[in-house]
Amino acid sequence: MAEKRPTALITGASSGIGAVFAREYASRGHDLVIAARRTDRLDALAAEITSAHGVKVRVIASDLSVSGAAKRLATAVGKTSIDVLINNSGWGHIGAFAAEDLDGMANEINVNIVSLTQLSRLFVAPMIERGRGTIINIASTAAYQPVPNMSVYAATKAYVLSFTEGLWGELQGTGVTALAVSPGGTATEFFDVAGGRSMGSALMTPTQVVTTAMSALDAKSPAPSVIVGAANRIMAMVGRFVPRRILISVAKRLMKSGRA
Ligand SMILES: NC(=O)c1ccc[n+]([C@@H]2O[C@H](COP(=O)([O-])OP(=O)(O)OC[C@H]3O[C@@H](n4cnc5c(N)ncnc54)[C@H](OP(=O)(O)O)[C@@H]3O)[C@@H](O)[C@H]2O)c1
Protein backbone atom coordinates (compact mmCIF):
# COMPACT_ATOMS: atom_id res chain seq x y z
CA MET A 1 0.00 0.00 0.00
CA ALA A 2 1.26 3.52 -0.84
CA GLU A 3 2.56 5.43 2.17
CA LYS A 4 0.14 8.08 3.44
CA ARG A 5 1.25 11.61 2.68
CA PRO A 6 1.76 13.97 5.63
CA THR A 7 -0.76 16.80 5.98
CA ALA A 8 -0.18 20.52 6.57
CA LEU A 9 -2.92 22.78 7.95
CA ILE A 10 -2.41 26.40 6.92
CA THR A 11 -4.54 29.29 8.16
CA GLY A 12 -4.78 32.43 6.07
CA ALA A 13 -3.88 30.61 2.85
CA SER A 14 -6.22 32.81 0.79
CA SER A 15 -3.42 35.30 0.04
CA GLY A 16 0.17 36.38 0.67
CA ILE A 17 2.52 34.33 2.80
CA GLY A 18 -0.06 31.61 3.56
CA ALA A 19 -0.66 30.86 -0.13
CA VAL A 20 3.11 30.52 -0.70
CA PHE A 21 3.41 28.15 2.29
CA ALA A 22 0.61 26.06 0.77
CA ARG A 23 2.44 25.77 -2.56
CA GLU A 24 5.72 24.98 -0.77
CA TYR A 25 4.29 22.16 1.37
CA ALA A 26 2.40 20.72 -1.62
CA SER A 27 5.66 20.73 -3.61
CA ARG A 28 7.19 18.76 -0.72
CA GLY A 29 4.47 16.09 -1.07
CA HIS A 30 2.07 17.16 1.68
CA ASP A 31 -1.69 17.00 1.46
CA LEU A 32 -3.16 20.27 2.64
CA VAL A 33 -5.98 21.66 4.70
CA ILE A 34 -6.28 25.36 3.93
CA ALA A 35 -8.48 27.75 5.92
CA ALA A 36 -9.54 31.40 5.79
CA ARG A 37 -12.72 33.43 5.29
CA ARG A 38 -12.44 33.92 1.49
CA THR A 39 -13.22 30.43 0.28
CA ASP A 40 -13.38 31.52 -3.39
CA ARG A 41 -9.64 32.29 -3.14
CA LEU A 42 -8.99 29.01 -1.30
CA ASP A 43 -10.92 27.01 -3.92
CA ALA A 44 -8.86 28.59 -6.72
CA LEU A 45 -5.61 27.83 -4.86
CA ALA A 46 -6.75 24.26 -4.17
CA ALA A 47 -7.45 23.69 -7.89
CA GLU A 48 -4.07 25.16 -8.88
CA ILE A 49 -2.15 23.09 -6.30
CA THR A 50 -3.99 19.83 -7.03
CA SER A 51 -3.23 20.10 -10.70
CA ALA A 52 0.41 21.15 -10.14
CA HIS A 53 1.35 18.66 -7.42
CA GLY A 54 -1.31 15.92 -7.37
CA VAL A 55 -1.85 16.20 -3.62
CA LYS A 56 -5.19 16.40 -1.80
CA VAL A 57 -6.31 19.87 -0.71
CA ARG A 58 -9.27 20.47 1.59
CA VAL A 59 -10.76 23.92 1.97
CA ILE A 60 -12.35 24.97 5.25
CA ALA A 61 -14.14 28.29 5.77
CA SER A 62 -12.95 29.76 9.06
CA ASP A 63 -13.23 33.19 10.67
CA LEU A 64 -10.61 33.07 13.42
CA SER A 65 -11.82 36.31 15.01
CA VAL A 66 -14.92 34.58 16.35
CA SER A 67 -15.05 32.94 19.77
CA GLY A 68 -14.72 29.15 19.50
CA ALA A 69 -13.30 29.33 15.94
CA ALA A 70 -10.19 27.27 16.71
CA LYS A 71 -12.25 24.43 18.15
CA ARG A 72 -14.63 24.52 15.18
CA LEU A 73 -11.70 24.40 12.77
CA ALA A 74 -10.17 21.43 14.61
CA THR A 75 -13.56 19.68 14.55
CA ALA A 76 -13.83 20.32 10.79
CA VAL A 77 -10.33 18.87 10.29
CA GLY A 78 -11.69 15.77 12.05
CA LYS A 79 -9.68 12.55 11.99
CA THR A 80 -7.02 13.80 9.56
CA SER A 81 -3.77 13.87 11.50
CA ILE A 82 -1.98 17.18 11.09
CA ASP A 83 1.79 16.93 10.76
CA VAL A 84 2.42 20.63 10.16
CA LEU A 85 0.33 23.48 11.56
CA ILE A 86 1.01 26.93 10.15
CA ASN A 87 -0.69 29.66 12.16
CA ASN A 88 -0.36 32.33 9.51
CA SER A 89 -3.71 34.20 9.68
CA GLY A 90 -3.16 37.65 11.07
CA TRP A 91 -3.70 41.32 10.50
CA GLY A 92 -2.95 44.69 12.00
CA HIS A 93 -4.32 48.20 11.92
CA ILE A 94 -2.20 51.32 11.47
CA GLY A 95 -3.41 54.36 13.39
CA ALA A 96 -3.44 56.18 16.71
CA PHE A 97 -4.41 53.89 19.58
CA ALA A 98 -6.77 56.54 21.03
CA ALA A 99 -8.89 56.27 17.89
CA GLU A 100 -8.90 52.45 17.60
CA ASP A 101 -12.24 50.70 17.18
CA LEU A 102 -13.01 48.44 20.18
CA ASP A 103 -14.43 45.56 18.13
CA GLY A 104 -11.58 45.87 15.61
CA MET A 105 -8.98 45.56 18.36
CA ALA A 106 -10.73 42.51 19.82
CA ASN A 107 -10.87 40.95 16.34
CA GLU A 108 -7.13 41.53 15.87
CA ILE A 109 -6.28 40.03 19.26
CA ASN A 110 -8.58 37.06 18.65
CA VAL A 111 -7.02 36.24 15.28
CA ASN A 112 -3.39 37.00 16.12
CA ILE A 113 -3.32 35.62 19.68
CA VAL A 114 -6.37 33.66 20.88
CA SER A 115 -7.00 31.44 17.86
CA LEU A 116 -3.29 30.94 17.20
CA THR A 117 -2.77 29.78 20.79
CA GLN A 118 -5.85 27.55 20.84
CA LEU A 119 -4.96 25.94 17.50
CA SER A 120 -1.43 25.29 18.78
CA ARG A 121 -2.91 23.64 21.88
CA LEU A 122 -5.42 21.56 19.94
CA PHE A 123 -2.88 20.18 17.46
CA VAL A 124 0.27 19.90 19.58
CA ALA A 125 -1.06 17.15 21.86
CA PRO A 126 -1.66 14.61 19.05
CA MET A 127 1.70 15.61 17.53
CA ILE A 128 3.45 14.80 20.83
CA GLU A 129 1.58 11.48 20.98
CA ARG A 130 2.83 10.59 17.49
CA GLY A 131 6.34 11.84 18.33
CA ARG A 132 6.56 14.17 15.35
CA GLY A 133 5.17 17.42 14.06
CA THR A 134 5.89 21.07 13.34
CA ILE A 135 4.12 24.24 14.39
CA ILE A 136 5.02 27.42 12.51
CA ASN A 137 3.66 30.63 13.99
CA ILE A 138 3.99 33.83 11.98
CA ALA A 139 5.23 36.66 14.19
CA SER A 140 6.84 39.82 12.76
CA THR A 141 9.84 42.09 13.15
CA ALA A 142 7.26 44.21 15.03
CA ALA A 143 7.65 41.59 17.80
CA TYR A 144 11.13 42.88 18.60
CA GLN A 145 10.21 46.41 19.70
CA PRO A 146 7.07 48.42 20.41
CA VAL A 147 5.68 50.17 17.32
CA PRO A 148 3.84 53.47 17.94
CA ASN A 149 0.71 53.76 15.75
CA MET A 150 0.66 50.00 15.50
CA SER A 151 0.91 49.36 19.24
CA VAL A 152 -1.71 46.60 19.43
CA TYR A 153 -0.40 44.72 16.39
CA ALA A 154 3.22 44.85 17.61
CA ALA A 155 2.13 43.63 21.05
CA THR A 156 0.23 40.68 19.51
CA LYS A 157 3.34 39.71 17.58
CA ALA A 158 5.57 40.04 20.68
CA TYR A 159 3.14 37.54 22.24
CA VAL A 160 3.45 35.18 19.26
CA LEU A 161 7.25 35.28 19.47
CA SER A 162 7.41 34.73 23.23
CA PHE A 163 4.70 32.04 23.22
CA THR A 164 6.28 30.11 20.35
CA GLU A 165 9.78 30.22 21.83
CA GLY A 166 8.39 29.02 25.18
CA LEU A 167 6.58 26.20 23.38
CA TRP A 168 9.81 25.30 21.53
CA GLY A 169 11.44 24.88 24.95
CA GLU A 170 8.60 22.65 26.19
CA LEU A 171 8.78 20.48 23.10
CA GLN A 172 12.46 19.58 23.39
CA GLY A 173 12.88 15.80 23.16
CA THR A 174 9.30 15.15 21.93
CA GLY A 175 10.06 15.00 18.20
CA VAL A 176 7.80 18.04 17.72
CA THR A 177 9.16 21.51 17.04
CA ALA A 178 7.79 25.04 17.05
CA LEU A 179 9.16 27.92 15.01
CA ALA A 180 8.30 31.62 15.15
CA VAL A 181 8.91 33.30 11.80
CA SER A 182 9.34 37.08 11.78
CA PRO A 183 9.02 38.75 8.40
CA GLY A 184 9.66 42.46 7.95
CA GLY A 185 7.53 44.42 5.49
CA THR A 186 6.40 41.96 2.81
CA ALA A 187 4.54 42.54 -0.46
CA THR A 188 1.12 41.02 0.32
CA GLU A 189 -2.36 42.40 0.98
CA PHE A 190 -1.26 43.20 4.54
CA PHE A 191 -0.91 46.98 4.02
CA ASP A 192 -4.28 47.24 2.19
CA VAL A 193 -5.92 45.64 5.22
CA ALA A 194 -3.84 47.68 7.71
CA GLY A 195 -4.85 50.94 6.07
CA GLY A 196 -1.33 52.26 5.77
CA ARG A 197 1.35 52.97 3.24
CA SER A 198 3.35 50.10 1.88
CA MET A 199 7.11 50.44 1.71
CA GLY A 200 7.60 50.14 -2.04
CA SER A 201 10.93 48.68 -3.02
CA ALA A 202 11.86 47.96 0.61
CA LEU A 203 9.32 45.15 0.74
CA MET A 204 10.41 41.55 0.63
CA THR A 205 8.49 38.85 -1.19
CA PRO A 206 6.35 36.18 0.49
CA THR A 207 8.60 33.61 -1.19
CA GLN A 208 11.60 35.02 0.73
CA VAL A 209 9.64 34.57 3.96
CA VAL A 210 8.76 30.96 3.21
CA THR A 211 12.28 30.11 1.97
CA THR A 212 13.76 31.46 5.22
CA ALA A 213 11.26 29.48 7.31
CA MET A 214 11.95 26.25 5.41
CA SER A 215 15.75 26.67 5.70
CA ALA A 216 15.34 27.19 9.44
CA LEU A 217 13.27 24.02 9.73
CA ASP A 218 15.60 22.02 7.49
CA ALA A 219 18.54 22.81 9.83
CA LYS A 220 19.94 19.89 11.83
CA SER A 221 18.79 21.49 15.06
CA PRO A 222 15.99 23.99 14.26
CA ALA A 223 16.04 27.24 16.25
CA PRO A 224 12.98 28.54 18.16
CA SER A 225 12.64 31.56 15.90
CA VAL A 226 13.92 33.12 12.72
CA ILE A 227 13.91 36.70 11.42
CA VAL A 228 13.60 37.14 7.66
CA GLY A 229 16.33 39.28 6.05
CA ALA A 230 19.86 40.12 7.20
CA ALA A 231 19.09 43.82 7.81
CA ASN A 232 16.10 42.89 9.98
CA ARG A 233 18.23 40.42 11.96
CA ILE A 234 20.83 43.12 12.61
CA MET A 235 18.14 45.64 13.63
CA ALA A 236 16.64 43.18 16.10
CA MET A 237 20.05 42.40 17.59
CA VAL A 238 21.09 46.05 17.89
CA GLY A 239 17.69 46.87 19.38
CA ARG A 240 18.47 44.71 22.41
CA PHE A 241 21.25 47.09 23.43
CA VAL A 242 19.54 50.42 22.64
CA PRO A 243 17.69 52.25 25.46
CA ARG A 244 13.93 51.65 25.10
CA ARG A 245 13.00 55.33 24.71
CA ILE A 246 15.42 55.63 21.76
CA LEU A 247 14.25 52.35 20.23
CA ILE A 248 10.61 53.47 20.42
CA SER A 249 11.42 56.91 18.92
CA VAL A 250 13.22 55.25 16.01
CA ALA A 251 10.28 52.87 15.44
CA LYS A 252 7.91 55.86 15.50
CA ARG A 253 9.98 57.74 12.93
CA LEU A 254 10.21 54.68 10.67
CA MET A 255 6.41 54.22 10.89
CA LYS A 256 5.88 57.87 9.91
CA SER A 257 8.25 57.56 6.97
CA GLY A 258 6.58 54.30 5.87
CA ARG A 259 9.77 52.27 6.35
CA ALA A 260 8.92 50.36 9.54
N1 LIG B 1 3.10 41.55 4.98
C2 LIG B 1 3.84 41.99 5.96
O3 LIG B 1 4.50 43.05 5.84
C4 LIG B 1 3.98 41.17 7.23
C5 LIG B 1 5.07 41.45 8.08
C6 LIG B 1 5.21 40.73 9.24
C7 LIG B 1 4.27 39.74 9.57
N8 LIG B 1 3.21 39.49 8.74
C9 LIG B 1 2.25 38.46 9.13
O10 LIG B 1 2.18 37.49 8.12
C11 LIG B 1 0.93 36.79 8.20
C12 LIG B 1 0.33 36.68 6.82
O13 LIG B 1 0.01 37.99 6.35
P14 LIG B 1 0.28 38.45 4.84
O15 LIG B 1 1.39 39.40 4.87
O16 LIG B 1 0.34 37.28 3.96
O17 LIG B 1 -1.04 39.34 4.60
P18 LIG B 1 -2.37 39.04 3.78
O19 LIG B 1 -2.07 38.82 2.35
O20 LIG B 1 -3.30 40.14 4.16
O21 LIG B 1 -2.87 37.66 4.40
C22 LIG B 1 -3.49 37.58 5.66
C23 LIG B 1 -4.23 36.25 5.75
O24 LIG B 1 -4.85 36.20 7.06
C25 LIG B 1 -6.19 35.78 6.88
N26 LIG B 1 -7.07 36.34 7.90
C27 LIG B 1 -7.22 37.63 8.27
N28 LIG B 1 -8.24 37.75 9.14
C29 LIG B 1 -8.73 36.50 9.34
C30 LIG B 1 -9.79 35.96 10.10
N31 LIG B 1 -10.61 36.74 10.83
N32 LIG B 1 -10.00 34.62 10.08
C33 LIG B 1 -9.21 33.82 9.33
N34 LIG B 1 -8.20 34.26 8.57
C35 LIG B 1 -7.97 35.59 8.57
C36 LIG B 1 -6.60 36.30 5.50
O37 LIG B 1 -7.65 35.47 4.97
P38 LIG B 1 -9.18 35.94 4.75
O39 LIG B 1 -9.19 37.43 4.61
O40 LIG B 1 -9.60 35.22 3.50
O41 LIG B 1 -9.90 35.43 5.97
C42 LIG B 1 -5.33 36.14 4.70
O43 LIG B 1 -5.27 34.88 4.10
C44 LIG B 1 0.08 37.58 9.20
O45 LIG B 1 0.11 36.92 10.45
C46 LIG B 1 0.81 38.91 9.30
O47 LIG B 1 0.59 39.54 10.54
C48 LIG B 1 3.05 40.18 7.58
Residue 245 maps to which CATH number? Answer: 3.40.50.720
- Does the beta carbon of 177 sit less than 6 angstroms from any atom of ligand 1? no
Please report whether residue 60 resides in a domain: yes
Give a yes or no: residue 134 inside a domain. yes
Q: How far apart are CA 62 and CA 69, in angstroms?
A: 7
72 CB within 6 A, ligand 1: no
Cα of 166 vs centre of ligand 1, distance in Å, is: 23
Helix (H) or strand (E) holding 9: strand 7-11
Residue 40 has, within 13 A of its CA and on its CB side, a CA count of 0
86 in a domain, yes or no? yes
- How crowded is residue 190: how many other Cβ atoms within 10 Å of its Cβ? 21
Atom of ligand 1 nearest to the CA of 89: 24
Ligand 1 atom nearest the C-alpha of 141 is 6
What integer pLDDT is reported at residue 222 of this predicted model? 97
- Atom index in ligand 1 nearest the CA of residue 188 equals 19
Q: Is 64 in the pocket of ligand 1 (CB under 6 A)?
A: yes
Q: Which residue stretches of the chain have pLDDT < 50?
A: none
- C-alpha 74/C-alpha 154 separation (Å) is 27
- The residue whose CB lies within 8 Å of the most ligand 1 atoms, and thus the one to mutate among 112, 117, 119, 190, is 190
Select from 45, 188, 204, 208 the residue to mutate for testing ligand 1; criterion: most ligand atoms less than 8 Å from CB. Answer: 188
Domain count, the chain: 1
Domain assignment present for residue 2? The answer is no
With respect to residue 143, please indicate whether it lies within any of the assigned structural domains.
yes
Is 183 part of a structural domain of the chain? yes
Residue 199 has a pLDDT of: 56
Element (H, E) at 57: strand 57-61
pLDDT the model gives residue 72: 98
Question: What is the CA(100)–ligand 1 centre distance, in A?
Answer: 19
Closest CA to 247 of 152, 146, 97, 162: 146
User: Measured from the CB, is residue 28 less than 6 Å from ligand 1?
Assistant: no
Q: Does the pTM exceed 0.75?
A: yes
Distance from the Cα of residue 68 to its chain's centroid:
19
Ligand 1 pocket, residue 224 CB under 6 Å: no
**What pLDDT, on a 0 to 100 scale, did the predictor assign at position 259?**
60
Which of 9, 10, 11, 14 has most ligand 1 atoms within 8 Å of CB, for mutation?
A: 14
By annotation, the residues acting in catalysis are 153
Q: Which of 24, 38, 121, 36 is nearest to 82 (CA)?
A: 121
Inside any domain, residue 118: yes
Gap from CA of 90 to ligand 1 centroid (Å):
4
Range of the domain at 198: 7-257
In whole angstroms, give the CA distance from residue 152 to residue 139.
13
Core vs surface per residue 21-53: b (16+ CB within 10 A) or e: bbbbbbeeebbbbbbbeebebbeebbeebeeeb
Q: If we measure between CA atoms, which residue out of 34, 71, 254, 241 comes closest to residue 154?
A: 254
pLDDT for 202 = 82
**Is 1 a member of any domain?**
no
